Chains A and B, each alone.
Chain A
Amino acid sequence: MLTRHEQVPTGLYVRSVIVVSAFGVGALWLMRRLLDDGLYLLSSAVAAVTIFLVLVYLRRRYSAMRWMAIGIGITVLFAVYPILYNLYIGFTNMGSGHLFTKEQAIERLEDEQYLPQDAPTFRWLGYRKDDSFALLLVSDDGAVQFATDDGSIETLELTDPEAEQPGDINGYRPMATSEVAPMLDELADVAFGEPPTTIRVQSLREAAATVPRYRFDRDADAMVDLTDGTIYQAVEGSFVDADGNALIPGFMTGVGVDNFKRFLTNQNLRGPLTRALVWNFVFAFASVALAFSVGLTVAMLFEDLPGRRWIRALLIVPYPIPVLVSVLIWRSMLNPDLGTIGQFLARVFGSSPQFFLDPTWTRIALIMVNIWLSYPYFYVISSGAMRSISTDMLDAAEVDGASPWQEFRFISLPQILMITMPLLIASFSFNFNNFNLIFIFNNGNPPMAGTVIPIGHTDILISFIYKLAFVSSSTSDYGLGAAISVLLFVVVGSVTYFQIRATKALEAR
């Protein structure tokens, strides 16, 4: 309607061609580097986004895409790609010890150095220029060399530099011992001098020339240990020698549907996860139903009170406060020994419920806190809905002698429910994945007893995945976590599908 073949003004077009070309060059450079790392999936995603942007901005015809392309590009790279990549991880062994692609693992192993028995050692003094470092090396026979971390080494004519440390050398300034000591670990990782034989800091006094320990034999697809000639063959994500010893790090490799099989057939996983799923539904449903009831009640009761503006402003207090802050406050108020509420309950009933140790009480507390967090939202939307329902039917009902309860039950409530249903369903799917609350309140605890996996009585699926992936770095199993999150995608996707269909059905009426 509005536009037909409108052209982009020349000035704007020239500018966009320049920007797009610069962007394209940067993207090509990045893609090249990513391919070197063996990241083919990411590289293709970058390529797709680049081609899309170039096509959109190099056409002179004015189109809707010109207005949206940058947003689409960012979203594809940082939201859509992660979802797809997550799917891919679900089919790999990614996890502790298998974090890198094969190319990255080889590079890291080839970086590893070792100290041959007869290696020359030096005493050293540290030098620094901004973020780069250098060593002044004194060998046993008194020869002095200056080695930098960007690959250069030169011999200096100095006598006994240790007695009197020379000042600036080639723009590097000497470091005091007090400056060197705290960063010794950092310095130990830096290679000084010319590769392949590089010089590394061994201790506060000593440095030594080290050589690479491993070399990758591309034809044999194996790492060779140069110290003793052991061959480590690449098998299923690790480099393994004849005795079965694996090098660290291993690398990522496809494992087919193993992760899914492990999850779906493992009794140890399935029992606890079924319980988590049931609680997940109960939590989401109870939270929405109760918070909506509170919100609606508040809206009905206070909507026509004089001064309702003030009442509303005060009742919405919880809404803007960051969830983390609110839940931390509730956590401490409910602390059975020290919290205000805990102490109050202890005084009234003799003892306070264990809000963090007893599964049932933890669940009750979670739902109560969630009501506090979300009733202001439901209050706002249901008072909006109330204003939009017709009063004719209410007037008619009153004439017919209906009680206020009957008016509410049979006239107001059905209409309010119909208007707010899409939002209620949306809230359900939000709470189905309400990671924040579960995680901060008690991290899914108390833990279930007798399970082999880290899962608690109040864990919902999404918090369980997070635990599995990030709880302890020594046992992270990203592959399994990703596989479960793919299954959760399916659950969330179906809920959404019904949400969209229900919304459409409601709108059609």
Chain B
Amino acid sequence: MSRRRRSRRSWWWRYLLAALMIGFAALPVLWVVSASLNPAKTLVGATLIPKNPGFGNYDDLINHPSFPFMTWMFNSVKIAVIAVSLTVAITVLAGYALSRFHFAGKKHFMTGILILNVFPAVLSIIALFGLMQQIGDHIPWLGFNSHGGLIAVYVSFGMGINVLMVKAYVDALPRDLDESGLVDGATHGQVFRKIVFPMMRPIVVTVAVLQFFVVYGDFVIARVLLKSTDKLTVMVGLLLFQTLRFEQDWGIITAGAVIAALPVLILYIPVQNYVISGLTAGSVKE
């Protein structure tokens, strides 16, 4: 907006405010990292810059006798990678079809997706729990206490919003190229693979990253659908850890929190501009 009309003199107080805001944003992060490096196990007397910092808490966490933390990390990453890959594959195809094909009832179909999208999974958690028990009696890898069942639930509930995002993106891609491909005798499959899909990279990245956040960060569904300690995801594990031994092992819990946040940060930092423009695209309609 009116960039050129502000004077340089008003900068200093805005930098001050920016510093304050950054403090607000970053304080919890600094604090948790500091606590995880603090060899004192409890919160009592903890200072922001710990005395004798070290990685002792991380050692204790990874070698914990009763909580297989690294197994939980592995489970979480495995589940998230599989669920996100499936979501991306399904939504990319569906988004293309919704954008480029016409079929009877398309409008109602879109409304259906929109409605489904607003019902939180927690609301049907009782039914999901029952469903998984019932399926698990016959297909154990897809039922209660299985990673397969959990992934299926994540994929189903991840469809709605992501399909709509992909469709909107494909709508905005020029149609001349794929139409000329079709005229030249290419099939829809070929047009999609050779022409449209290569142009969809930004939306694929956005959907993948946002969906990874959702799946990796979930603990509500995972907590109800998983039971065995060695099958838990890291979020459920952290929650369990926190409930069981809050003040005794504070250093270990914070170390766990730091490690648990790493995969999303590693994923997020290189692609943050994609994600930000993906979010902004929602607010700026041409």
Q: Which residues of A contact B (CB under 8 A)?
A: 1-3, 6, 9, 12, 30, 33-34, 37, 39, 42, 62-68, 70-71, 74-75, 77-83, 85-86, 89, 94, 99, 298, 301-306, 311, 313-326, 328-330, 332-333, 335, 338-340, 372, 376-377, 380-389, 391, 394-395, 398, 407, 412, 419-420, 423, 429, 433, 435-436, 439-440, 462, 465-466, 469-470, 478, 481-482, 485, 488-489, 492-493, 495-496, 499-500, 507
Contact = CB atoms under 8 A, between A and B. Distances in A.
Given A2-B101, A71-B93, A81-B131, A86 B124 contact: yes
B273 to A, nearest CB: 10
Contacts of B125: 466, 469-470
A196 to B, nearest CB: 22
A326 B2 contact: no
A265 to B, nearest CB: 22
A380 B280 contact: yes
9 contacts: A9-B187, A79-B116, A85-B127, A304-B6, A329-B31, A338-B42, A338-B44, A386-B1, A488-B123
B133 to A, nearest CB: 8
B115 interface: yes
B261 interface: yes
A74 B155 contact: yes
B43 interface: yes
Interface string B41-82: 011101010000000000000000000000000000000000
B220 interface: yes
Nearest to A62: B188
A22 to B, nearest CB: 15
A503 B3 CA distance: 30
A355 B174 CA distance: 54
B137 interface: yes
Contacts of A436: 219-220
Contacts of B135: 42
A65 B138 CA distance: 29
Contacts of A67: 93-94, 96-97, 101
A332 B283 contact: no
Contacts of A315: 18, 21-22, 25
Given A332-B250, A385-B283, A317 B29 contact: yes
Nearest to A390: B1
Contacts of B18: 301-302, 305, 311, 315
Contacts of B111: 500
A118 B90 CA distance: 63
B31 A83 contact: no
Among B98, B122, B189, the one with the most A-chain Cβ atoms within 10 Å of its Cβ is B122
Interface residues of B, number: 104
A344 to B, nearest CB: 11
B226 to A, nearest CB: 13
A311 B157 contact: no
A439 B122 CA distance: 12
Contact of B124 (A311, A372, A423, A485): A485
B103 to A, nearest CB: 5
Interface string B150-167: 001101110100010000
Q: Give the 5 A-B CB pairs with smallest separation, nearest first.
A: A384-B280, A67-B97, A64-B101, A338-B43, A78-B156
B122 A462 contact: yes
B134 A39 contact: yes
Contacts of B177: none
A340 B48 CA distance: 9
B120 interface: yes
A325 B257 contact: yes
A318 B32 CA distance: 13
Nearest to A81: B131
Given A2-B101, A305-B15, 18 more contacts: A6-B188, A37-B137, A67-B96, A75-B155, A83-B119, A83-B127, A86-B124, A89-B127, A315-B21, A321-B264, A322-B213, A322-B260, A384-B279, A384-B281, A389-B1, A407-B2, A420-B283, A469-B125
Contact of B130 (A94, A317, A420): A94
**Dominant secondary structure at the A interface:** helix
A384 B93 CA distance: 29
B138 A325 contact: no
Contacts of A313: 272
A78 B260 CA distance: 27
B41 to A, nearest CB: 12
B175 to A, nearest CB: 9
A468 B247 CA distance: 28
A493 B130 contact: no
A356 to B, nearest CB: 12
A493 B213 CA distance: 25
B91 A391 contact: no
Nearest to A419: B283
A89 B31 contact: no
B122 A466 contact: yes
B276 interface: yes
A37 B131 CA distance: 13
Given A332-B43, A435-B122, A372 B24 contact: yes
A320 B1 contact: no
A385 B153 CA distance: 34
Contacts of B268: 319-320
Contact of B155 (A78, A391, A435): A78
Interface in B177-219: 178-179, 182, 187-189, 213, 216-217, 219
Nearest to B137: A37
Among B25, B135, B254, B283, the one with the most A-chain Cβ atoms within 10 Å of its Cβ is B283
A340 B276 CA distance: 32
A381 B261 contact: no
B170 to A, nearest CB: 12
Among A81, A321, A372, A423, the one with the most B-chain Cβ atoms within 10 Å of its Cβ is A321
Contacts of A62: 188
B264 A320 contact: yes
B284 A3 contact: no
A385 B80 CA distance: 32
Contacts of B179: 2
Given A81-B131, A304-B3, A322 B15 contact: no
B43 A335 contact: yes
Nearest to B276: A380
